[in-house]
Amino acid sequence: MSIGYNLLRVRIDLAALRHNYRLLNRYGSRLMPVVKADAYGHGLQRVFPVLAAEGADILAVGSVAEGAQLRQWGFGGGIVSLLGAVAPGDEELVASQGVIPFVGRGEQLASLGALARRMGRQVPVALKFDTGMSRLGFAPADLPEVLELLAANPGVKVALVASHLAAADEPDMPDKVATVLAQADRFDHVCTVLRAAGHEFDATLANSAAILLRPEMHHELQRPGIALYGANPLHGTSRAALGGELRPVMSVGAPVLEVRELEPGQGVSYGGTFVAERPMSAAVVAVGYADGYSRGLSGRGQMCLHGRRAAILGRVCMQMTVVDISDIPDARPGDDAWLLGGEGAGRVSPEELALWWGSIPYEPFCLLGLSPRSYEG
Ligand SMILES: *Cc1c(COP(=O)(O)O)cnc(C)c1O
């Protein structure tokens, strides 16, 4: 992103990333960390060497171009593109950079088969099956057609077979659990049929929640995303303890610009949606929706200042947000207000921020991570 217009401080704790990887590796047998969208906003260029040093020999990116970039940065292991070869030039990158694309349509498979013939060598792919997400992938009912296409395109090598669970993080909802179990059954069937036809591959189904919760769905490769970055996918469920030791990797601070007193009757920020009912102290913090800090947090969110909680007063502006520091008398201009993370009892967890945001931790990570980041650990 272009530099200089915001004052946000995004800190990435690589020691926490390492800790989370090791923790997940105790559950899973072989991890394929998901580093799409610039490692969920944490910065792929700095994240991948940590994962590689921990033993990750295959990573999942979003676009093929992101995979090619990862290759340029020097990652020598397997690179899987979850979005597949779709943009102009993607197939050339698949071939030249050794990116393994997700393939979920017959024409993609045939096109990569033609590429393999032109190059005179095999092109490894990850076959994607839709077992219940209604998003990308072949349907299990397409198996006969897929087998025919594979027979007609011997240059296409099935390296992986994948599907994605729609509700693995809702273990207390019987209908969601039933969906997950049905997806796993369909996936097992797909793998059995493909293996019976002579294809040899690594199967992969489990995301973060299923890594923690469902060892029977681990197959050869597991795909942790959110848990690597330290948000607990089982937060708020009866199984939350399974992810209780995960440590948030990202914290985000912004400086206090000004501290001011409010008289009873004074309105705060655009529209005066908050009116002081008593004398209060307020701090103006240099963060707003231009920094990815959602305007939906207006009147709902909180920050951490001097280890304590400061509630947002009124509307979040483009580059500023006003918070209540009536109970934090030592706050001064230049102090850090933490929108995510911070010290002591006031520390803001990713799950809390997501709750106020009306979202899940994935979204604040991706959006706040667009600002300049610094690294420690
Ligand atoms: C993003 C993604 C994952 C990771 O999911 P988490 O819930 O973050 O662990 C795994 N597989 C696919 C296909 C994905 O798109």
What would the pLDDT profile of 299-348 be if each residue is shown by its tens digit?
A: 999 999 999 999 999 999 999 999 999 999 999 999 999 999 999 999 99
Q: Is the CB of 71 under 6 A from ligand 1?
A: no
Q: Which of ligand 1's atoms lies nearest the C-alpha of 211?
A: 9
Number of neighbouring beta carbons within 10 Å of residue 136: 18
Whether 40 is catalytic: no
Alpha helices in the chain (DSSP H): 14-27, 36-40, 44-53, 64-72, 90-97, 106-119, 143-152, 174-196, 208-213, 350-357, 362-368
Q: Determine the Cα–Cα distance for residues 363 and 296; give it in Å rounded to an integer.
A: 13
DSSP state of 257: E
CB burial class (10 A; 0-12, 13-18, 19+) of residue 255? Answer: middle
Q: Is the CB of 226 under 6 A from ligand 1?
A: yes
Q: Is the CB of 208 under 6 A from ligand 1?
A: yes
pLDDT tens readout for residues 190-217? 999 999 999 999 999 999 999 999 999 9
CA of 248 to the centre of ligand 1 (A): 17
The mean pLDDT value for 128-153 works out to 97
Whether 270 is catalytic: yes
Q: Which of ligand 1's atoms lies nearest the C-alpha of 168?
A: 7
| pLDDT in the model for residue 1 | 47
pLDDT tens readout for residues 334-368? 999 999 999 999 999 999 999 999 999 999 999 99
Question: Is there a contact between 113 and 125 (Cβ–Cβ < 8 Å)?
Answer: no
| Mean pLDDT rounded to a whole number for the chain | 97
> Which residues are within 8 A (CB) of 126 and not within 5 positions of it... i.e. 6 or more apart?
80, 100, 101, 102, 103, 159, 160, 161, 162
pLDDT tens readout for residues 60-98? 999 999 999 999 999 999 999 999 999 999 999 999 999
CA of 293 to the centre of ligand 1 (A): 23
pLDDT at 2 over 80: no
Q: Is the CB of 225 under 6 A from ligand 1?
A: yes
Pocket test for ligand 1, best of 40, 81, 164 (most atoms within 8 A of CB): 164
Catalytic residue among 36, 157, 289, 362: 36
pLDDT tens readout for residues 241-261? 999 999 999 999 999 999 999
- With b for 16 or more beta-carbon neighbours within 10 A and e for fewer, the 83-98 pattern comes to bbbeeeebbebbbebb
> Which residues are within 8 A (CB) of 365 and not within 5 positions of it... i.e. 6 or more apart?
40, 41, 42, 229, 231, 250, 350
Q: Of all protein residues, whose CA lies closest to atom 12 belonging to ligand 1? A: 164
> Which residues are within 8 A (CB) of 142 and not within 5 positions of it... i.e. 6 or more apart?
106
Question: Is there a contact between 357 and 364 (Cβ–Cβ < 8 Å)?
Answer: yes
pLDDT at 3 over 90: no
- Percentage of the chain beyond pLDDT 90 is 98
